[in-house]
Amino acid sequence: MRTRAADMFGLEFPIFAFSHCRDVVAAVSRAGGMGVLGALYFTPEELETELAWIDANVDGKPYGVDVVMPASYEGAEFAPEELVGRLQGMIPDGHRKFVDDLLARHGVAESDGAAGRVLLGWTDATARPQVEVALKHPIALLANALGPPPADVVEMAHAKGVKVAALASTPRHAVKQVEVGVDVVVAQGTEAGGHTGEISTMVLIPQVVDAVDVPVLAAGGIGDGRQVAAGLALGAEGVWTGSIWLTVEEADTPAVARDKILAATSRDTVRSRSWTGKPARLLKNEWTDAWEAADSPGTLPMPLQFMLVSDALRRIGRSDAKELATFPAGQIIGTMNDVKPARQVVFDLVEGYIEAMDRLRAISDR
């Protein structure tokens, strides 16, 4: 499975695995693919710890870090030290009441005041320290999940010999990303989990491949070897996967979420703004339904929505209100029905790809 994306990083298989779990990242890289750690939920100090662990456990194989620097968000004009306070003041009381009432109806305990981290890494001010930590480690790839990364961040990465990837959901996004120096475009279809656009992987990949000269990875709906082969058929030079790592043995996915994924069909997700304010594919349930209901106040723009709901999601996670527990998940969760080691998932993808290629050759040669 030799492509420019494989050669760029010296990978055996151009299979990229996005995960918030360091164990998964290291396991995929050791198996010949490339693990990419999602930094969003970590403070710079925590990220340092995670990356040090990966360095010690990845056997020198390449791995990456994924940050979320949105091209646009509310409060970009505020100084970092006043950012949280100013943003908190922008959340309407009616929205807070809607969340409180929803949780009360489902018997979720009231807030203990420990609001926790509300901003995460999705402003320039909070993502930059993550980038600085990441670039002190021997990472091979820095990926940005929402739009083109700032040009100076691309330069910083390149100065350290680190390649830069960005997620695109339209060909126009991809062109902009390459203009600021991105080395790899992850073209992500609407079926993907987390932040996602409207265009399906099948339709999007050829458009992006035709729009840019750099290697493109196919993302969205990639869960078995047939989908790897399909992604390459569409012109991609590798695949970017996410949801399928939520149920591997190494994953630290909460049991509630893991069980829901194992039981879900591909119709059990929905594209919703109820998590971050930007459209993201989530497990569809009473939480996502509530934000679509007639009495919903509507969602707030990024990063206000997550600031509004972060404590609620934490309390739901600790409660018995499993019907409200949602999380980012792609349509591929409909085919995830068992728990395997990450290494095995990599090998199954490769084996399925080889079988698909044998079948394609037979169709073509007959």
Is the bond preceding 303 in cis, omega lying within 30 degrees of 0? yes
CA dihedral 235, 220, 184, 50 (to 10 degrees): -150
CA separation, residue 15 to residues 1, 10, 18, 63, 217 (Å): 10, 12, 10, 11, 9
Query: H-type helices in the chain, by residue range?
Result: 4-9, 22-30, 44-57, 80-88, 93-105, 124-134, 151-159, 171-179, 201-211, 225-233, 255-263, 286-292, 304-318, 342-365
Please state the closest distance from residue 16 (CB atom) to a copy of itself, in A: 16
* Residue (108 or 230) nearer to a copy of itself, CB: 230
Positions in the binding site for a copy of itself (CB under 8 A): 1-3, 170, 189-191, 197-207, 220-224, 226-227, 229-235, 237, 265-267, 330-332, 334-335, 354, 356-357, 359-361, 363-364, 366
* Residue (6 or 309) nearer to a copy of itself, CB: 6
Please state the closest distance from residue 161 (CB atom) to a copy of itself, in A: 25
Please state the closest distance from residue 201 (CB atom) to a copy of itself, in A: 5
Please state the closest distance from residue 38 (CB atom) to a copy of itself, in A: 22
* Residue (164 or 232) nearer to a copy of itself, CB: 232
* Residue (142 or 186) nearer to a copy of itself, CB: 186
Please state the closest distance from residue 210 (CB atom) to a copy of itself, in A: 9
Pick from 176, 185, 127: which is nearest to 156 by CA?
127
* Residue (249 or 292) nearer to a copy of itself, CB: 292
- Please list, residue by residue across 38-63, b when 16 or more beta carbons sit within 10 angstroms of its beta carbon and e when fewer do: bbbebbbeebbebbeebeebbeebbb
Q: For the chain, first and last CA: distance in Å?
A: 23
* Residue (201 or 326) nearer to a copy of itself, CB: 201
Please state the closest distance from residue 264 (CB atom) to a copy of itself, in A: 12
